[in-house]
Amino acid sequence: MRSRLAELGEKIYEENRVEWEKAYLGKIIAIEVESRSLAGVGDSLDEAYEEAVKKYPGKPFYFRKVGPCAAPGYLF
Q: Which helix (H) or strand (E) holds 23?
A: helix 4-24
Task: Look at residue 73 in the predicted model and tell me its pLDDT.
Answer: 55
Q: What is the mean pLDDT of residues 7-13?
A: 95
Contacts of 33 (CB under 8 A, 6+ apart): 5, 8, 9, 12, 60, 61, 62
Q: Tell me what percent of the residues of the chain surpass a pLDDT of 70.
A: 89
Mean pLDDT throughout 43-63?
96
Binning pLDDT at 50, 70 and 90, where does residue 57 land? very high
pLDDT at 76: 44
Full domain range(s) for residue 31: 4-75
This prediction's pTM:
0.87
Closest CA to 5 of 55, 58, 76: 76
Count the domains in the chain. 1
Q: Is the pLDDT confidence value at 25 over 60?
A: yes
